[in-house]
Structure 1
Protein backbone atom coordinates (compact mmCIF):
# COMPACT_ATOMS: atom_id res chain seq x y z
CA UNK A 1 0.00 0.00 0.00
CA UNK A 2 1.44 3.38 -0.99
CA UNK A 3 2.27 5.59 1.95
CA UNK A 4 0.67 8.48 0.08
CA UNK A 5 -2.77 7.12 0.92
CA UNK A 6 -3.98 7.17 4.52
CA UNK A 7 -7.30 5.53 5.32
CA UNK A 8 -9.02 6.29 8.63
CA UNK A 9 -12.57 4.96 8.40
CA UNK A 10 -13.75 1.62 9.74
CA UNK A 11 -13.61 0.37 6.11
CA UNK A 12 -9.87 1.08 5.83
CA UNK A 13 -8.87 -2.61 5.88
CA UNK A 14 -11.09 -3.79 2.99
CA UNK A 15 -10.29 -0.63 1.00
CA UNK A 16 -6.55 -1.27 1.34
CA UNK A 17 -7.10 -4.93 0.47
CA UNK A 18 -9.05 -4.02 -2.66
CA UNK A 19 -6.33 -1.62 -3.84
CA UNK A 20 -3.68 -4.27 -3.18
CA UNK A 21 -5.66 -6.82 -5.20
CA UNK A 22 -6.02 -4.48 -8.19
CA UNK A 23 -2.29 -3.75 -8.18
CA UNK A 24 -1.41 -7.40 -7.75
CA UNK A 25 -3.07 -8.20 -11.08
CA UNK A 26 -1.22 -5.44 -12.92
CA UNK A 27 -3.22 -2.22 -12.54
CA UNK A 28 -1.44 0.93 -11.35
CA UNK A 29 -4.80 2.02 -9.90
CA UNK A 30 -3.60 5.49 -8.87
CA UNK A 31 -6.80 7.27 -9.85
CA UNK A 32 -8.91 4.59 -8.17
CA UNK A 33 -6.85 4.82 -4.98
CA UNK A 34 -7.30 8.59 -4.87
CA UNK A 35 -11.05 8.23 -5.31
CA UNK A 36 -11.21 5.59 -2.58
CA UNK A 37 -9.34 7.97 -0.31
CA UNK A 38 -12.16 10.46 -0.88
CA UNK A 39 -14.73 7.79 -0.11
CA UNK A 40 -12.85 6.79 3.04
CA UNK A 41 -12.84 10.43 4.19
CA UNK A 42 -16.58 10.61 3.45
CA UNK A 43 -17.26 7.52 5.57
CA UNK A 44 -14.99 8.78 8.34
CA UNK A 45 -16.53 12.27 8.45
CA UNK A 46 -20.06 10.86 8.60
CA UNK A 47 -19.02 8.73 11.61
CA UNK A 48 -19.94 5.52 9.79
CA UNK A 49 -19.32 2.67 12.23
CA UNK A 50 -20.40 -0.58 10.51
CA UNK A 51 -17.92 -3.04 9.03
CA UNK A 52 -20.17 -3.25 6.00
CA UNK A 53 -20.92 -1.35 2.84
CA UNK A 54 -24.56 -0.50 3.43
CA UNK A 55 -27.07 0.50 0.80
CA UNK A 56 -27.56 3.87 2.49
CA UNK A 57 -23.84 4.64 2.48
CA UNK A 58 -23.48 3.56 -1.15
CA UNK A 59 -26.50 5.50 -2.43
CA UNK A 60 -25.57 8.63 -0.48
CA UNK A 61 -22.03 8.57 -1.87
CA UNK A 62 -23.31 7.81 -5.37
CA UNK A 63 -25.65 10.80 -5.55
CA UNK A 64 -24.64 13.11 -8.35
CA UNK A 65 -22.99 16.30 -7.08
CA UNK A 66 -23.79 19.78 -8.45
CA UNK A 67 -21.96 20.41 -11.74
CA UNK A 68 -20.68 16.81 -11.79
CA UNK A 69 -20.81 15.09 -15.16
CA UNK A 70 -22.63 11.80 -15.54
CA UNK A 71 -19.35 10.24 -16.62
CA UNK A 72 -17.65 11.22 -13.35
CA UNK A 73 -20.61 9.98 -11.32
CA UNK A 74 -20.53 6.66 -13.18
CA UNK A 75 -16.84 6.37 -12.45
CA UNK A 76 -17.45 6.78 -8.72
CA UNK A 77 -20.27 4.25 -8.80
CA UNK A 78 -18.23 1.72 -10.77
CA UNK A 79 -15.36 2.01 -8.32
CA UNK A 80 -17.61 1.44 -5.32
CA UNK A 81 -19.25 -1.49 -7.10
CA UNK A 82 -15.82 -3.08 -7.45
CA UNK A 83 -15.10 -2.52 -3.76
CA UNK A 84 -18.46 -4.08 -2.83
CA UNK A 85 -17.82 -7.17 -4.95
CA UNK A 86 -14.38 -7.55 -3.34
CA UNK A 87 -15.84 -7.23 0.15
CA UNK A 88 -18.48 -9.86 -0.60
CA UNK A 89 -15.76 -12.23 -1.79
CA UNK A 90 -13.80 -11.93 1.46
CA UNK A 91 -16.84 -12.25 3.71
CA UNK A 92 -17.98 -8.68 4.46
CA UNK A 93 -21.58 -7.62 3.76
CA UNK A 94 -21.68 -5.06 0.99
CA UNK A 95 -24.40 -3.57 -1.21
CA UNK A 96 -23.56 -3.82 -4.93
CA UNK A 97 -24.95 -0.88 -6.88
CA UNK A 98 -27.02 -2.32 -9.79
CA UNK A 99 -25.34 -1.84 -13.15
CA UNK A 100 -28.55 -0.96 -14.97
CA UNK A 101 -29.39 2.02 -12.73
CA UNK A 102 -26.85 4.36 -14.28
CA UNK A 103 -25.55 4.04 -17.82
CA UNK A 104 -23.57 6.30 -20.09
CA UNK A 105 -22.88 6.28 -23.79
CA UNK A 106 -19.08 6.39 -23.85
CA UNK A 107 -19.06 6.88 -27.60
CA UNK A 108 -21.35 9.91 -27.74
CA UNK A 109 -18.51 12.39 -28.20
CA UNK A 110 -17.62 13.16 -31.81
CA UNK A 111 -13.92 14.00 -32.20
CA UNK A 112 -13.08 17.39 -33.65
CA UNK A 113 -11.28 16.85 -36.97
CA UNK A 114 -8.77 19.64 -37.55
CA UNK A 115 -8.30 20.87 -41.11
CA UNK A 116 -4.80 21.03 -42.55
CA UNK A 117 -4.97 24.80 -42.37
CA UNK A 118 -5.92 24.68 -38.68
CA UNK A 119 -3.04 22.32 -37.91
CA UNK A 120 -0.68 24.65 -39.77
CA UNK A 121 -1.93 27.67 -37.80
CA UNK A 122 -1.63 25.79 -34.51
CA UNK A 123 1.98 24.81 -35.18
CA UNK A 124 2.79 28.36 -36.23
CA UNK A 125 1.25 29.64 -32.97
CA UNK A 126 3.31 27.08 -31.02
CA UNK A 127 6.49 28.17 -32.76
CA UNK A 128 5.78 31.78 -31.75
CA UNK A 129 5.15 30.89 -28.10
CA UNK A 130 7.31 33.23 -25.99
CA UNK A 131 9.98 32.09 -23.50
CA UNK A 132 9.22 32.37 -19.80
CA UNK A 133 11.83 32.84 -17.08
CA UNK A 134 9.94 30.61 -14.62
CA UNK A 135 9.57 27.77 -17.11
CA UNK A 136 12.49 28.37 -19.50
CA UNK A 137 11.88 25.36 -21.78
CA UNK A 138 8.13 25.74 -22.19
CA UNK A 139 8.43 27.47 -25.58
CA UNK A 140 10.58 24.54 -26.76
CA UNK A 141 8.42 21.77 -25.27
CA UNK A 142 5.03 22.91 -26.55
CA UNK A 143 5.80 22.89 -30.33
CA UNK A 144 7.48 19.48 -30.14
CA UNK A 145 4.87 17.92 -27.86
CA UNK A 146 1.93 18.85 -30.07
CA UNK A 147 3.75 17.66 -33.18
CA UNK A 148 4.47 14.37 -31.43
CA UNK A 149 0.80 13.93 -30.49
CA UNK A 150 -0.25 14.67 -34.05
CA UNK A 151 2.45 12.71 -35.83
CA UNK A 152 2.48 9.59 -33.63
CA UNK A 153 -1.10 9.40 -32.37
CA UNK A 154 -0.05 9.43 -28.72
CA UNK A 155 -2.27 9.99 -25.74
CA UNK A 156 -1.16 13.04 -23.78
CA UNK A 157 -0.26 10.90 -20.76
CA UNK A 158 1.91 8.65 -22.94
CA UNK A 159 3.83 11.63 -24.30
CA UNK A 160 4.32 13.29 -20.91
CA UNK A 161 5.55 10.04 -19.34
CA UNK A 162 8.29 9.57 -21.94
CA UNK A 163 11.73 9.40 -20.39
CA UNK A 164 14.84 10.65 -22.16
CA UNK A 165 15.83 7.02 -22.84
CA UNK A 166 12.40 6.29 -24.36
CA UNK A 167 13.07 8.71 -27.23
CA UNK A 168 15.66 7.10 -29.50
CA UNK A 169 16.96 9.95 -31.64
CA UNK A 170 19.25 7.57 -33.55
CA UNK A 171 16.64 5.01 -34.60
CA UNK A 172 13.79 7.55 -34.69
CA UNK A 173 11.48 5.61 -32.35
CA UNK A 174 9.43 6.14 -29.20
CA UNK A 175 9.16 3.45 -26.56
CA UNK A 176 5.74 3.70 -24.88
CA UNK A 177 5.61 2.17 -21.41
CA UNK A 178 2.53 1.40 -19.33
CA UNK A 179 0.11 2.27 -22.11
CA UNK A 180 -3.60 1.47 -21.97
CA UNK A 181 -4.25 -1.99 -20.46
CA UNK A 182 -0.61 -2.09 -19.32
CA UNK A 183 0.76 -2.71 -22.82
CA UNK A 184 4.07 -1.49 -24.23
CA UNK A 185 4.87 -0.59 -27.82
CA UNK A 186 7.49 1.00 -30.05
CA UNK A 187 6.41 3.71 -32.49
CA UNK A 188 8.37 5.09 -35.45
CA UNK A 189 8.74 8.83 -35.94
CA UNK A 190 8.97 10.70 -39.21
CA UNK A 191 12.48 11.90 -40.07
CA UNK A 192 11.42 15.52 -39.58
CA UNK A 193 10.05 14.78 -36.09
CA UNK A 194 13.18 12.82 -35.16
CA UNK A 195 15.32 15.80 -36.18
CA UNK A 196 13.16 18.08 -34.06
CA UNK A 197 13.75 15.76 -31.09
CA UNK A 198 17.52 15.98 -31.69
CA UNK A 199 17.40 19.78 -31.90
CA UNK A 200 15.24 19.99 -28.78
CA UNK A 201 17.66 17.84 -26.75
CA UNK A 202 20.60 19.98 -27.84
CA UNK A 203 18.96 23.34 -27.18
CA UNK A 204 16.97 22.49 -24.03
CA UNK A 205 19.86 20.47 -22.51
CA UNK A 206 17.30 18.37 -20.63
CA UNK A 207 19.88 16.02 -19.08
CA UNK A 208 21.62 18.67 -17.00
CA UNK A 209 19.22 18.77 -14.03
CA UNK A 210 18.92 15.01 -13.52
CA UNK A 211 15.20 14.94 -14.35
CA UNK A 212 14.58 11.69 -16.30
CA UNK A 213 11.58 12.95 -18.29
CA UNK A 214 11.82 14.03 -21.92
CA UNK A 215 9.39 16.89 -21.22
CA UNK A 216 10.56 17.93 -17.74
CA UNK A 217 8.78 20.47 -15.59
CA UNK A 218 10.85 23.19 -13.96
CA UNK A 219 9.17 22.22 -10.70
CA UNK A 220 10.22 18.56 -10.89
CA UNK A 221 8.70 15.54 -12.63
CA UNK A 222 6.92 16.18 -15.91
CA UNK A 223 4.28 18.62 -17.06
CA UNK A 224 0.75 17.78 -15.92
CA UNK A 225 -2.07 16.96 -18.34
CA UNK A 226 -4.06 19.93 -17.03
CA UNK A 227 -1.22 22.41 -17.60
CA UNK A 228 -0.67 21.22 -21.17
CA UNK A 229 -4.41 21.51 -21.80
CA UNK A 230 -4.31 25.14 -20.58
CA UNK A 231 -1.46 25.86 -22.97
CA UNK A 232 -3.33 24.04 -25.74
CA UNK A 233 -6.33 26.33 -25.27
CA UNK A 234 -4.03 29.36 -25.53
CA UNK A 235 -2.64 27.96 -28.78
CA UNK A 236 -6.17 27.43 -30.13
CA UNK A 237 -7.00 31.06 -29.34
CA UNK A 238 -3.83 32.36 -30.99
CA UNK A 239 -4.55 30.19 -34.04
CA UNK A 240 -8.08 31.57 -34.32
CA UNK A 241 -9.76 28.24 -33.56
CA UNK A 242 -12.86 28.47 -31.38
CA UNK A 243 -12.94 26.40 -28.20
CA UNK A 244 -16.50 25.25 -27.57
CA UNK A 245 -16.26 24.87 -23.81
CA UNK A 246 -15.80 22.12 -21.26
CA UNK A 247 -16.27 18.66 -22.70
CA UNK A 248 -17.13 19.94 -26.19
CA UNK A 249 -13.72 20.40 -27.70
CA UNK A 250 -11.59 20.72 -29.55
CA UNK A 251 -9.73 18.55 -27.04
CA UNK A 252 -6.03 17.89 -27.05
CA UNK A 253 -7.00 14.24 -27.53
CA UNK A 254 -8.43 15.21 -30.92
CA UNK A 255 -4.86 15.77 -32.16
CA UNK A 256 -4.80 11.98 -32.57
CA UNK A 257 -7.35 12.16 -35.39
CA UNK A 258 -5.57 13.64 -38.42
CA UNK A 259 -7.66 14.68 -41.38
Structure 2
Protein backbone atom coordinates (compact mmCIF):
# COMPACT_ATOMS: atom_id res chain seq x y z
CA UNK A 1 0.00 0.00 0.00
CA UNK A 2 1.54 3.35 -1.04
CA UNK A 3 2.32 5.92 1.63
CA UNK A 4 -0.03 8.90 1.94
CA UNK A 5 2.97 11.23 2.23
CA UNK A 6 6.34 10.82 0.57
CA UNK A 7 8.58 13.75 1.53
CA UNK A 8 11.37 13.67 4.07
CA UNK A 9 8.81 14.85 6.63
CA UNK A 10 6.32 12.05 5.89
CA UNK A 11 6.42 10.57 9.41
CA UNK A 12 5.93 13.93 11.13
CA UNK A 13 3.13 14.86 8.71
CA UNK A 14 1.30 11.59 9.35
CA UNK A 15 1.40 12.23 13.11
CA UNK A 16 0.29 15.83 12.61
CA UNK A 17 -2.61 14.77 10.41
CA UNK A 18 -3.80 12.26 12.99
CA UNK A 19 -3.96 15.08 15.51
CA UNK A 20 -5.76 17.40 13.10
CA UNK A 21 -8.28 14.70 12.26
CA UNK A 22 -9.38 14.70 15.87
CA UNK A 23 -9.51 18.49 16.06
CA UNK A 24 -11.34 19.32 12.82
CA UNK A 25 -14.70 18.39 11.39
CA UNK A 26 -14.78 16.03 8.40
CA UNK A 27 -15.14 18.74 5.76
CA UNK A 28 -12.50 21.01 7.30
CA UNK A 29 -10.11 18.07 7.61
CA UNK A 30 -10.64 17.12 3.97
CA UNK A 31 -9.58 20.56 2.76
CA UNK A 32 -6.70 20.76 5.24
CA UNK A 33 -5.45 17.36 4.07
CA UNK A 34 -5.59 18.44 0.42
CA UNK A 35 -3.35 21.45 1.09
CA UNK A 36 -0.87 19.43 3.15
CA UNK A 37 -0.72 16.81 0.40
CA UNK A 38 0.10 19.51 -2.17
CA UNK A 39 2.92 20.76 0.04
CA UNK A 40 4.25 17.26 0.73
CA UNK A 41 4.24 16.46 -2.99
CA UNK A 42 6.20 19.64 -3.68
CA UNK A 43 8.85 18.80 -1.07
CA UNK A 44 9.18 15.35 -2.61
CA UNK A 45 9.40 16.71 -6.16
CA UNK A 46 12.22 19.15 -5.33
CA UNK A 47 14.11 16.31 -3.64
CA UNK A 48 14.35 17.85 -0.18
CA UNK A 49 16.70 15.68 1.91
CA UNK A 50 17.45 17.81 4.95
CA UNK A 51 14.67 18.24 7.51
CA UNK A 52 14.65 21.99 7.26
CA UNK A 53 12.27 24.27 5.34
CA UNK A 54 13.67 27.60 4.20
CA UNK A 55 11.90 30.79 3.23
CA UNK A 56 12.84 30.12 -0.40
CA UNK A 57 11.09 26.73 -0.39
CA UNK A 58 7.91 28.13 1.13
CA UNK A 59 7.79 31.13 -1.21
CA UNK A 60 8.40 28.97 -4.29
CA UNK A 61 5.63 26.58 -3.22
CA UNK A 62 3.22 29.49 -2.76
CA UNK A 63 4.06 30.71 -6.29
CA UNK A 64 3.44 27.21 -7.63
CA UNK A 65 0.17 26.60 -5.83
CA UNK A 66 -1.14 30.11 -6.65
CA UNK A 67 -1.35 29.52 -10.39
CA UNK A 68 -4.87 29.85 -11.71
CA UNK A 69 -6.65 30.26 -8.36
CA UNK A 70 -8.16 33.19 -6.48
CA UNK A 71 -6.36 35.18 -3.78
CA UNK A 72 -8.85 33.83 -1.24
CA UNK A 73 -7.94 30.23 -2.09
CA UNK A 74 -4.23 31.10 -1.92
CA UNK A 75 -4.86 32.64 1.49
CA UNK A 76 -6.53 29.43 2.63
CA UNK A 77 -3.58 27.30 1.46
CA UNK A 78 -1.07 29.56 3.24
CA UNK A 79 -3.13 29.53 6.43
CA UNK A 80 -3.19 25.72 6.48
CA UNK A 81 0.52 25.37 5.74
CA UNK A 82 1.31 27.80 8.56
CA UNK A 83 -0.34 25.31 10.92
CA UNK A 84 1.81 22.47 9.60
CA UNK A 85 5.02 24.52 9.74
CA UNK A 86 4.27 25.69 13.27
CA UNK A 87 3.85 22.04 14.26
CA UNK A 88 7.16 21.04 12.63
CA UNK A 89 8.86 23.98 14.34
CA UNK A 90 7.48 22.80 17.69
CA UNK A 91 9.12 19.44 16.97
CA UNK A 92 12.50 21.18 16.79
CA UNK A 93 12.89 21.60 13.02
CA UNK A 94 13.97 24.90 11.50
CA UNK A 95 11.03 26.12 9.42
CA UNK A 96 10.18 29.46 7.88
CA UNK A 97 6.69 30.55 8.92
CA UNK A 98 5.00 32.64 6.19
CA UNK A 99 2.82 35.59 7.04
CA UNK A 100 -0.94 35.24 6.66
CA UNK A 101 -2.13 36.46 3.27
CA UNK A 102 -4.46 39.39 3.93
CA UNK A 103 -7.48 39.29 1.64
CA UNK A 104 -10.18 41.85 1.05
CA UNK A 105 -13.78 40.91 0.39
CA UNK A 106 -15.08 42.16 -2.94
CA UNK A 107 -18.55 42.78 -1.55
CA UNK A 108 -20.60 42.77 1.61
CA UNK A 109 -23.80 40.72 1.19
CA UNK A 110 -27.25 42.13 1.74
CA UNK A 111 -29.50 40.26 4.16
CA UNK A 112 -33.25 40.54 3.95
CA UNK A 113 -35.11 41.36 7.16
CA UNK A 114 -38.34 39.63 8.16
CA UNK A 115 -40.31 42.73 7.22
CA UNK A 116 -38.64 42.98 3.81
CA UNK A 117 -39.27 39.31 3.08
CA UNK A 118 -42.92 39.63 4.01
CA UNK A 119 -43.26 42.61 1.69
CA UNK A 120 -41.35 40.92 -1.15
CA UNK A 121 -43.52 37.79 -1.05
CA UNK A 122 -46.72 39.84 -0.84
CA UNK A 123 -45.71 41.75 -3.96
CA UNK A 124 -44.57 38.57 -5.75
CA UNK A 125 -47.89 36.88 -4.97
CA UNK A 126 -49.78 39.82 -6.49
CA UNK A 127 -47.43 40.29 -9.46
CA UNK A 128 -49.15 41.27 -12.72
CA UNK A 129 -47.39 40.88 -16.06
CA UNK A 130 -50.08 41.20 -18.77
CA UNK A 131 -47.54 41.79 -21.55
CA UNK A 132 -45.32 38.77 -20.84
CA UNK A 133 -45.56 37.08 -24.25
CA UNK A 134 -42.82 34.48 -23.86
CA UNK A 135 -43.10 34.19 -20.08
CA UNK A 136 -46.81 33.59 -19.80
CA UNK A 137 -46.48 31.77 -16.46
CA UNK A 138 -44.32 34.38 -14.75
CA UNK A 139 -47.07 35.49 -12.35
CA UNK A 140 -47.12 31.96 -10.90
CA UNK A 141 -43.40 31.32 -11.23
CA UNK A 142 -41.95 34.30 -9.35
CA UNK A 143 -43.68 33.50 -6.02
CA UNK A 144 -42.55 29.86 -6.25
CA UNK A 145 -39.00 30.70 -7.35
CA UNK A 146 -38.40 33.22 -4.57
CA UNK A 147 -39.64 30.76 -1.94
CA UNK A 148 -37.33 28.07 -3.32
CA UNK A 149 -34.33 30.41 -3.24
CA UNK A 150 -34.99 31.45 0.36
CA UNK A 151 -35.97 28.04 1.77
CA UNK A 152 -33.24 26.00 0.03
CA UNK A 153 -30.44 28.50 -0.54
CA UNK A 154 -30.18 27.64 -4.22
CA UNK A 155 -28.27 29.60 -6.81
CA UNK A 156 -30.64 31.18 -9.35
CA UNK A 157 -29.22 29.13 -12.22
CA UNK A 158 -29.62 25.92 -10.24
CA UNK A 159 -33.28 26.62 -9.56
CA UNK A 160 -34.08 27.54 -13.17
CA UNK A 161 -32.56 24.29 -14.46
CA UNK A 162 -34.68 22.02 -12.25
CA UNK A 163 -36.99 19.67 -14.13
CA UNK A 164 -40.05 18.02 -12.62
CA UNK A 165 -38.28 14.67 -12.93
CA UNK A 166 -35.56 16.00 -10.62
CA UNK A 167 -38.05 16.30 -7.76
CA UNK A 168 -38.68 13.35 -5.45
CA UNK A 169 -42.16 14.14 -4.14
CA UNK A 170 -42.10 11.13 -1.82
CA UNK A 171 -38.91 12.00 0.03
CA UNK A 172 -39.03 15.81 -0.38
CA UNK A 173 -35.75 15.97 -2.30
CA UNK A 174 -34.52 17.92 -5.30
CA UNK A 175 -31.68 16.52 -7.41
CA UNK A 176 -29.62 19.43 -8.71
CA UNK A 177 -28.03 18.25 -11.94
CA UNK A 178 -26.93 21.61 -13.41
CA UNK A 179 -24.75 23.32 -10.80
CA UNK A 180 -21.67 25.46 -10.42
CA UNK A 181 -18.54 23.43 -11.23
CA UNK A 182 -20.87 20.58 -12.32
CA UNK A 183 -21.20 19.06 -8.86
CA UNK A 184 -24.59 17.37 -8.58
CA UNK A 185 -26.17 17.31 -5.14
CA UNK A 186 -29.35 16.44 -3.25
CA UNK A 187 -31.34 19.22 -1.59
CA UNK A 188 -33.97 18.21 0.99
CA UNK A 189 -36.83 20.57 1.86
CA UNK A 190 -39.49 20.70 4.57
CA UNK A 191 -43.13 19.62 4.51
CA UNK A 192 -44.50 23.15 4.17
CA UNK A 193 -42.45 23.82 1.06
CA UNK A 194 -43.26 20.33 -0.23
CA UNK A 195 -46.97 21.17 -0.20
CA UNK A 196 -46.34 24.46 -2.03
CA UNK A 197 -44.21 22.76 -4.73
CA UNK A 198 -46.78 20.01 -5.23
CA UNK A 199 -49.71 22.44 -5.59
CA UNK A 200 -47.63 24.69 -7.86
CA UNK A 201 -46.80 21.81 -10.23
CA UNK A 202 -50.45 20.80 -10.29
CA UNK A 203 -51.59 24.33 -11.11
CA UNK A 204 -48.93 24.61 -13.85
CA UNK A 205 -50.04 21.30 -15.40
CA UNK A 206 -46.54 19.79 -15.16
CA UNK A 207 -46.98 17.46 -12.19
CA UNK A 208 -46.66 14.28 -14.27
CA UNK A 209 -44.37 15.64 -16.97
CA UNK A 210 -40.88 14.65 -15.84
CA UNK A 211 -39.23 16.43 -18.78
CA UNK A 212 -40.87 19.79 -18.14
CA UNK A 213 -38.87 22.55 -16.49
CA UNK A 214 -40.11 23.68 -13.09
CA UNK A 215 -39.95 27.28 -14.33
CA UNK A 216 -40.74 27.12 -18.07
CA UNK A 217 -41.34 29.75 -20.70
CA UNK A 218 -44.31 29.38 -23.05
CA UNK A 219 -42.47 26.25 -24.25
CA UNK A 220 -42.27 23.92 -21.26
CA UNK A 221 -39.06 22.43 -22.64
CA UNK A 222 -37.29 25.80 -22.31
CA UNK A 223 -36.65 27.36 -18.87
CA UNK A 224 -36.81 31.00 -17.84
CA UNK A 225 -33.56 32.91 -18.18
CA UNK A 226 -31.75 34.49 -15.25
CA UNK A 227 -32.03 37.92 -16.85
CA UNK A 228 -35.81 37.59 -17.15
CA UNK A 229 -36.13 36.69 -13.48
CA UNK A 230 -33.78 39.50 -12.41
CA UNK A 231 -35.79 42.07 -14.35
CA UNK A 232 -39.04 41.08 -12.67
CA UNK A 233 -37.33 40.97 -9.30
CA UNK A 234 -36.03 44.51 -9.80
CA UNK A 235 -39.64 45.63 -10.20
CA UNK A 236 -40.57 43.86 -6.97
CA UNK A 237 -37.67 45.50 -5.10
CA UNK A 238 -38.66 48.91 -6.37
CA UNK A 239 -42.27 48.37 -5.28
CA UNK A 240 -41.00 47.18 -1.89
CA UNK A 241 -38.95 50.35 -1.46
CA UNK A 242 -35.65 48.44 -1.32
CA UNK A 243 -33.11 50.60 -3.13
CA UNK A 244 -29.52 49.98 -4.21
CA UNK A 245 -28.52 53.53 -5.07
CA UNK A 246 -26.82 54.44 -1.79
CA UNK A 247 -24.42 51.58 -1.31
CA UNK A 248 -21.21 51.85 0.67
CA UNK A 249 -17.92 50.53 -0.62
CA UNK A 250 -18.02 46.74 -1.24
CA UNK A 251 -21.76 46.49 -0.53
CA UNK A 252 -23.51 44.33 -3.11
CA UNK A 253 -27.03 45.52 -2.48
CA UNK A 254 -30.29 43.55 -2.58
CA UNK A 255 -30.48 40.95 -5.36
CA UNK A 256 -31.68 37.41 -6.01
CA UNK A 257 -28.39 35.90 -4.85
CA UNK A 258 -28.86 37.53 -1.46
CA UNK A 259 -31.64 35.02 -0.72
CA UNK A 260 -28.81 32.46 -0.62
CA UNK A 261 -26.84 34.57 1.84
CA UNK A 262 -29.94 35.07 3.97
CA UNK A 263 -30.60 31.32 3.96
CA UNK A 264 -27.03 30.56 5.10
CA UNK A 265 -27.10 33.07 7.95
CA UNK A 266 -30.55 32.07 9.17
CA UNK A 267 -29.65 28.36 9.02
CA UNK A 268 -26.53 28.90 11.11
CA UNK A 269 -28.46 31.05 13.56
CA UNK A 270 -31.26 28.49 13.88
CA UNK A 271 -28.80 25.65 14.52
CA UNK A 272 -26.97 27.67 17.16
CA UNK A 273 -30.20 28.50 18.96
CA UNK A 274 -31.18 24.83 18.88
CA UNK A 275 -27.95 23.84 20.58
CA UNK A 276 -26.19 22.43 17.49
CA UNK A 277 -22.51 23.34 17.69
CA UNK A 278 -20.82 25.16 14.85
CA UNK A 279 -18.31 22.35 14.29
CA UNK A 280 -21.26 20.06 13.60
CA UNK A 281 -23.47 22.40 11.57
CA UNK A 282 -21.01 24.30 9.36
CA UNK A 283 -19.68 21.27 7.40
CA UNK A 284 -23.24 20.13 6.66
CA UNK A 285 -24.28 23.66 5.67
CA UNK A 286 -21.25 23.89 3.39
CA UNK A 287 -22.19 20.61 1.69
CA UNK A 288 -25.85 21.62 1.42
CA UNK A 289 -24.88 24.86 -0.32
CA UNK A 290 -22.57 23.01 -2.71
CA UNK A 291 -19.43 24.85 -1.61
CA UNK A 292 -15.95 23.56 -2.41
CA UNK A 293 -14.65 24.53 1.00
CA UNK A 294 -15.60 25.84 4.40
CA UNK A 295 -13.91 29.09 3.43
CA UNK A 296 -16.66 29.71 0.86
CA UNK A 297 -19.28 29.17 3.57
CA UNK A 298 -17.39 31.49 5.90
CA UNK A 299 -17.76 34.28 3.34
CA UNK A 300 -21.51 33.71 3.27
CA UNK A 301 -21.64 34.16 7.02
CA UNK A 302 -20.14 37.64 6.98
CA UNK A 303 -22.88 40.16 7.48
CA UNK A 304 -23.90 43.39 9.14
CA UNK A 305 -23.84 43.45 12.93
CA UNK A 306 -27.45 44.64 12.72
CA UNK A 307 -28.44 41.02 12.13
CA UNK A 308 -27.87 38.23 14.68
CA UNK A 309 -25.01 40.10 16.39
CA UNK A 310 -24.58 37.40 19.04
CA UNK A 311 -24.53 34.66 16.39
CA UNK A 312 -21.67 36.18 14.39
CA UNK A 313 -19.58 36.30 17.56
CA UNK A 314 -20.15 32.56 18.03
CA UNK A 315 -19.34 31.87 14.38
CA UNK A 316 -16.12 33.87 14.53
CA UNK A 317 -15.11 31.94 17.64
CA UNK A 318 -15.56 28.72 15.66
CA UNK A 319 -13.91 30.00 12.48
CA UNK A 320 -10.92 31.63 14.11
CA UNK A 321 -8.67 28.59 13.80
CA UNK A 322 -9.93 27.55 10.39
CA UNK A 323 -9.94 30.64 8.20
CA UNK A 324 -7.32 33.23 7.33
CA UNK A 325 -7.63 36.78 8.60
CA UNK A 326 -9.84 38.98 6.47
CA UNK A 327 -9.76 42.77 6.59
CA UNK A 328 -12.17 45.35 5.24
CA UNK A 329 -11.45 48.77 3.81
CA UNK A 330 -13.00 51.59 5.81
- TM-score relative to the length of structure 2: 0.43
Residues 172 and 190 in structure 1, CA contact (< 8 A), matched pair in contact too: yes
Aligned partner of residue 249 in structure 1, secondary structure: coil
User: Quick check: 1:117 aligned with 2:115?
Assistant: yes
Shift of 1:169: 2.3
Give a deviation string over 1:40-84, Cα, whole Å, max 9, x none.
xxxxxxxxxxxxxxxxxxxxxxxxxxxxxxxxxxxxxx8xxxxxx
Q: How far apart in 1 are the matches of 2:151 and 2:136? A: 25
Give a deviation string over 1:179-229, Cα, whole Å, max 9, x none.
222211111112111111111111111369996211111155100011100
Question: Aligned residue for 1:243?
Answer: 244
Residues 206 and 216 in structure 1, CA contact (< 8 A), matched pair in contact too: no
Q: Which has the higher contact order (CA 8 A, sep 6+)?
A: 2
Q: How far apart in 1 are the matches of 2:208 and 2:169? A: 18
Q: How far apart in 1 are the matches of 2:203 and 2:231? A: 24
Shift of 1:242: 1.3
Shift of 1:250: 1.1
Map 1:1-259 onto structure 2 (within 5 A): 107-130=105-128, 132=130, 134=133, 135-206=135-206, 212-219=212-219, 221-244=222-245, 248-258=252-262, 259=266
Aligned partner of residue 112 in structure 2, secondary structure: coil
Aligned partner of residue 187 in structure 1, secondary structure: strand
Shift of 1:248: 3.8
Are residues 186 and 245 of structure 1, via their aligned partners in 2, closer, same or farther at CA, if it must alter by over 3 Å?
farther
Q: How far apart in 1 are the matches of 2:129 and 2:170? A: 28
Residues 233 and 243 in structure 1, CA contact (< 8 A), matched pair in contact too: no
Are residues 179 and 210 of structure 1, via their aligned partners in 2, closer, same or farther at CA, if it must alter by over 3 Å?
closer
Q: How far apart in 2 are the matches of 1:109 and 1:191? A: 34
Are residues 177 and 251 of structure 1, via their aligned partners in 2, closer, same or farther at CA, if it must alter by over 3 Å?
same
Question: Aligned residue for 1:81?
Answer: none
Are residues 150 and 117 of structure 1, via their aligned partners in 2, closer, same or farther at CA, if it must alter by over 3 Å?
same
Structure 1: give runs of 5+ residues left out of the alignment.
1-77, 79-104
Q: How far apart in 2 are the matches of 1:121 and 1:242? A: 14
Structure 2: give runs of 5+ residues left out of the alignment.
1-67, 69-102, 267-330
Aligned partner of residue 252 in structure 1, secondary structure: coil
Residues 153 and 256 in structure 1, CA contact (< 8 A), matched pair in contact too: yes
Q: How far apart in 1 are the matches of 2:255 and 2:214? A: 23
- TM-score relative to the length of structure 1: 0.54
Aligned partner of residue 242 in structure 1, secondary structure: coil
Q: How far apart in 1 are the matches of 2:129 and 2:173? A: 28
Aligned partner of residue 170 in structure 2, secondary structure: coil
Shift of 1:240: 1.9
Question: Aligned residue for 2:324?
Answer: none
Higher Cα Rg, which structure: 2
